[in-house]
Amino acid sequence: MERAVVLTGIGGQGIQLIAKLLAQAGMRDGRQVMMFGIFMGMIRGGSSESTVVIADREIEAPPIVPSVWGVLAMHAEGLPKLAEKIEVGGVLLVNTSLVQRPPVWEGVRQFGVAATDTAKAIGQPLGASMVALGAFAASTGIVSGDALAAALGDVLPPHRRQHVDANRRCLEAGAGLVAADATPAWG
């Protein structure tokens, strides 16, 4: 099985970091992984997007994937162009704190989590993307929560390693936001 996931938002939301974390967790789960990010020239506020491909076998997807199985959207800006790429049977998770009117894509399972509000409520206002990633992983089963938590130390730069525990709490909070009856879409 091979799954392509797009993580989208705006600069400063941690999109590239959570993409790297998702990819690293996939490797920790013993899967093949490919990742590539696209971001505009601005550090904050510009469009930011990253694609992660996770597979049980050698990856066959080209560097730019024509369709995606999953979308994690921290901000509404990148969503319109992804409507034509999302596969029927895919998954859309949106940060309802910032995406007020998520799109309705036929045949796509949708989850909404108030990632920004949740991160603020637990005292980690910069951890919204980690909350969303924890919810995405829990709702799809694309990677295990244990692999995500373990990979934090691998992907955080040295000057951010003191935030491993706080980011782990954000991942766990996100996983807790997903209904217990969510059916994993991996497998």
Domains of the chain: 2-177 (3.40.920.10)
Q: What local confidence, expressed as pLDDT, does residue 47 receive?
A: 79
Closest CA to 143 of 179, 108, 172, 184: 184
> Structure pTM?
0.90
Render pLDDT for 140-177 as a digit per residue (tens, 0 to 9): 999 999 999 999 989 988 888 888 999 999 999 999 99
At residue 174, what is the residue type? Answer: G
Nearest to 42 by CA among 13, 21, 22, 19: 13
Question: Is it the case that residue 58 has pLDDT exceeding 80?
Answer: yes
Q: Residue 139's pLDDT is what?
A: 92
Average pLDDT over residues 49-64: 84
The answer to whether 121 and 160 are in contact (CB under 8 A) is no
Interval 75-89: pLDDT, tens: 998 899 899 999 999
Q: Highest mean pLDDT range out of 8-22, 126-140, 154-168? A: 126-140
